[in-house]
Amino acid sequence: MEIIKTALRSLMGNRTRSLLTMLGIIIGVGAVITMVAIGGGASQQVESMMSSFGSNLIIVMPAPPNSTGARGAAGSGDSLTLDDSNALASDTFSVERTAPEVNSNAQVIFGNSNWNTSVTGSTPDIMPVRNWEIESGACFTEQDVRSGAKVCVIGKTVAIELFGYSDPIDSTIRIKSIPFRVVGVTKSKGANSWGQDQDDFILVPVTTAQRRLVRFGTKVDGVRRINVQAKDRDSVETAKQEVRLILRQRHKLTDGVEDDFQIRDLTQALENAASTTNVMSLLLGAVASISLLVGGIGIMNIMLVSVSERTREIGIRMAVGARPSNVRVQFLTEAVVLSVLGGAIGISSGVGISKAITAFANWPTIISIKSIIVAVGFSAFVGVFFGFWPAWKASNLDPIDALRTE
């Protein structure tokens, strides 16, 4: 305790120099915590995207038409049908379920309220495939799909815009002037990372959409895309191969003929994005750690200056009985105190900056306890490592020469 008190008195005697010495540690620790928090927030966003799109998801879309060498937009072809979706669900081993989609925008009316939203025609399997959950009511049934019933499930945003906070179940809304009975409302999922409202939609039976709301392509039962959910993550590649084989057989495509559909593995793309985000987080943390190294060099330089300035003091201490180990511990303690104080201030600044980024930049940050422990531990290590040489130099001074120093 006497050594710590002596170290603190010495540092307080040169407050400005001590603060400037700690600045490198403060910036380093704060930067490490902030960068790791930003990287953690980015990883959370990617995980949120994966959750909102669905798990183990494969998307099958028509290949773009090729007319006189000019290819159309992705998904603009009309090669997929409702029967294709049913075949993929029944004739494969690696596919858990499928959900076809046809969609368009439409003006929706209830009483004096109206709202323009996205209308998607699909089957009840779209709910687990896209990780949608029912908050009130229920989803329409397979019988509703077979009969082309005029029923719908609405998103939370549509429910609020049309009904306020009243219960919309069993109410009748008009989609393109056609009456639909509301049978369910989905739980809110909020906006995705692109700012798109994931609750602004209406879900209707796919057959009803095909017959009454939207005609996709030249086929009566044409669909814009088919969502395919593999049984698990390890089955995704096998499921893609099965999907390609079955669709080529159904579309009577011979060897050498290009696929008239496209298969996109969304899960793999999002996993790659998550991996990239993790690598970027590590790189940001590594770059920020350089500040800790610079701060450690600053501590060593200042402690060497302190040894030169206090040579006579060291001589007096050794003359009255201080051993070399006492002198080493004294100067080493001063270096460690500088590092630990700088680390504590750096933690406060890193946490504060992270929260400020979340509040003002609307970017999610996750403050990692592990990053705080690592930053503090590293700052203490910096104090010991870079403080050892000045302390060793001070302890090796000859007492007589030290006392003669002016």
pLDDT at residue number 206:
94
Report DSSP state, residue 191. B
pLDDT at residue number 278:
72
Q: How far is CA 18 from CA 29, 217, 220, 300, in A?
A: 17, 74, 79, 12
Given a contact cutoff of 8 angstroms between Cβ atoms, the answer to whether 347 and 33 are in contact is yes
- In terms of Cα–Cα distance, which of 120, 70, 58 is closest to 247? 58
Calculate mean pLDDT across residues 218-241.
86
Q: How far is CA 263 from CA 103, 151, 241, 272, in A?
A: 19, 31, 10, 17
pLDDT at residue number 179:
95
Element (H, E) at 301: helix 266-309
Bridge partners, residue 261, by sequence: 62
Res. 381 pLDDT band, cuts 50 70 90: confident
C-alpha–C-alpha distance, residues 340 and 160, integer Å: 53
Residue 178 neighbours by CB distance under 10 Å: 13
pLDDT at residue number 70:
45
pLDDT at residue number 270:
65
For residue 258, pLDDT over 80 is answered with yes
The predicted-structure confidence for 287-304, as pLDDT tens digits, reads as follows 767 777 777 777 777 777
Which are the contacts of 328, defined by CB distance < 8 A and separation ≥ 6?
391, 392, 394, 395
The two tokens of residue 9 are: 């008195």
The predicted-structure confidence for 48-70, as pLDDT tens digits, reads as follows 666 556 668 889 999 876 544 44
For residue 77, pLDDT over 60 is answered with no
Of residues 244 and 77, more confidence is placed in: 244
Mean pLDDT (the chain, rounded):
81
Of residues 271 and 66, more confidence is placed in: 271
pLDDT at residue number 209:
92
C-alpha–C-alpha distance, residues 25 and 222, integer Å: 63
For residue 248, pLDDT over 90 is answered with yes
Res. 314 pLDDT band, cuts 50 70 90: confident
Q: pTM score, two decimals?
A: 0.61
Which range has the worst mean pLDDT, 146-150, 181-185, 348-352, 365-369?
A: 365-369
C-alpha–C-alpha distance, residues 99 and 90, integer Å: 12
Res. 75 pLDDT band, cuts 50 70 90: very low
For residue 84, pLDDT over 90 is answered with yes
pLDDT at residue number 227:
93
Of residues 25 and 217, more confidence is placed in: 25
Of residues 298 and 140, more confidence is placed in: 140
Element (H, E) at 112: none
Residue type, 246: I
Calculate mean pLDDT across residues 108-133.
92
Burial of 274 (0-12, 13-18, 19+ CB in 10 A): middle
Given a contact cutoff of 8 angstroms between Cβ atoms, the answer to whether 201 and 159 are in contact is no
Please provide residue 154's backbone torsions phi and psi, each rounded to the nearest 5 degrees: -115, 150
The predicted-structure confidence for 321-373, as pLDDT tens digits, reads as follows 777 777 777 777 877 787 888 888 888 888 898 888 888 877 778 887 877 88
C-alpha–C-alpha distance, residues 266 and 61, integer Å: 12
pLDDT at residue number 271:
67
